[in-house]
Amino acid sequence: MKETEEKNGINKILITAIFMILIIFLVTNSTKILNNSTEVFVVTNGSLYSEEPAEGYLLREETVLQGESYKNGMVKVLSDGERAAKSQVVFRYYSNSEETIMNQIDKLDEEINEIIANSGINLVPSSDIASLDLQIEDTLDSMHNINYLQQIQENKNKIEAYISKKAQITGNLSPENSYIKTLTAQRDVLEKQLEEGSEIIYAPTPGLASYRIDGLEDVLKVDNFDYLTTELLNSFGLKVGASTPLNNEKGKIVNNFECFIATSINTEKAMNAKVGDIVTIRLSTSDEIDAEIVYIKEEENNRILVFKIEEKIADLLEYRKISFDIIWWKYTGLKISNSCILEETKNDNEISYVEKNKAGYKEKILVKVLRQNDSYSIVINYEDDELRELGYTEEEISDIGNIKLYDEIISY
SS (H, E, C) the chain: CHHHHHHHHHHHHHHHHHHHHHHHHHHHHHHHHHHCCCEEEECEEEEEEEEEEEEEEEECCEEEECCCCHHHCEEECCCCCCEECCCCEEEEECCCCHHHHHHHHHHHHHHHHHHHHHHCCCCCCCHHHHHHHHHHHHHHHHCCCCCCHHHHHHHHHHHHHHHHHHHHHHHHHCCCCCHHHHHHHHHHHHHHHHHHHCCEEECCCCEEEECECCCCCCCCCCCCCCCCCHHHHHHCCCCCCCECCECCCCEEEECCCCEEEEEEECCHHHHCCCCCCEEEEECCCCCEEEEEEEEEEECCCCEEEEEEECCCCHHHCCECEEEEEEEEEEEEEEEEEHHHCEEEEECCEEEEEEEEEECCEEEEEEEEEEEECCCEEEEEECCHHHHHHCCCCHHHHHHCCCCCCCCEEEEC
| Last-in-domain residue among 329, 355, 380 | 329
Mean per-residue pLDDT, 116-139: 62
Q: Which of 401, 345, 343, 348 is nearest to 372 (CA)?
A: 343
Q: Is the pLDDT of residue 11 over 70?
A: no
Rounded Cα distance between 382 and 379, Å, is 10
Considering the domain architecture, whether residues 155 and 252 belong to the same structural domain is answered as no
Lowest mean pLDDT among 60-69, 110-119, 149-158, 324-333: 149-158
- Note whether 302 and 323 are within 8 A (CB): no
* CATH number of domain containing 307: 2.40.30
* CATH number of domain containing 381: 2.40.420
Considering the domain architecture, whether residues 261 and 343 belong to the same structural domain is answered as no
In a domain, 71, yes or no: no
Looking at residue 178, its pLDDT comes to 72
Q: How many CA atoms lie within 13 A of 2 on its CB side?
A: 0
Q: Which of 410, 380, 383 is nearest to 397 (CA)?
A: 383
| Axis-axis angle for helices 179-197, 98-119 (nearest 10) | 160
**Region of residue 307 (phi > 0: left; psi between -120 and 50: alpha; otherwise: beta):** beta
Considering the domain architecture, whether residues 101 and 135 belong to the same structural domain is answered as yes
Q: What is the pLDDT of residues 173-188, one digit of tens each?
A: 665 557 777 888 888 8
Pick 23 or 58 by higher pLDDT.
58
Backbone angles phi, psi at 388, to 5 degrees: -60, -40
Considering the domain architecture, whether residues 308 and 366 belong to the same structural domain is answered as no
Q: What is the pLDDT of residues 283-320, one digit of tens each?
A: 999 999 999 999 999 999 899 999 999 999 999 999 99
Q: Is the pLDDT of residue 346 over 90?
A: no
Q: Is the pLDDT of residue 19 over 70?
A: no
Pick 16 or 396 by higher pLDDT.
396
Q: Is the pLDDT of residue 144 over 70?
A: no
Structural domain range at position 358: 40-47+333-411
Considering the domain architecture, whether residues 251 and 190 belong to the same structural domain is answered as no
In a domain, 34, yes or no: no
Q: Is the pLDDT of residue 29 over 80?
A: no
Query: Strand 74-76 relative to strand 39-42: parallel, antiparallel, unpaired?
Result: unpaired
Query: Strand 321-337 relative to strand 288-298: parallel, antiparallel, unpaired?
Result: unpaired
Looking at residue 52, its pLDDT comes to 95
pLDDT band at 104 (very low <50, low <70, confident <90, very high): confident
Mean per-residue pLDDT, 32-38: 46
Backbone angles phi, psi at 87, to 5 degrees: 75, 5
Lowest mean pLDDT among 127-141, 335-349, 394-408: 127-141
Lowest mean pLDDT among 136-145, 258-267, 344-353: 136-145
Considering the domain architecture, whether residues 343 and 393 belong to the same structural domain is answered as yes
pLDDT band at 35 (very low <50, low <70, confident <90, very high): very low
| Last-in-domain residue among 329, 351, 372 | 329
- Note whether 218 and 249 are within 8 A (CB): no
The CA angle 325-321-67, to the nearest 5 degrees, is: 145
Considering the domain architecture, whether residues 224 and 145 belong to the same structural domain is answered as no
| Last-in-domain residue among 286, 314, 329 | 329
Mean per-residue pLDDT, 80-104: 88
pLDDT band at 247 (very low <50, low <70, confident <90, very high): very high
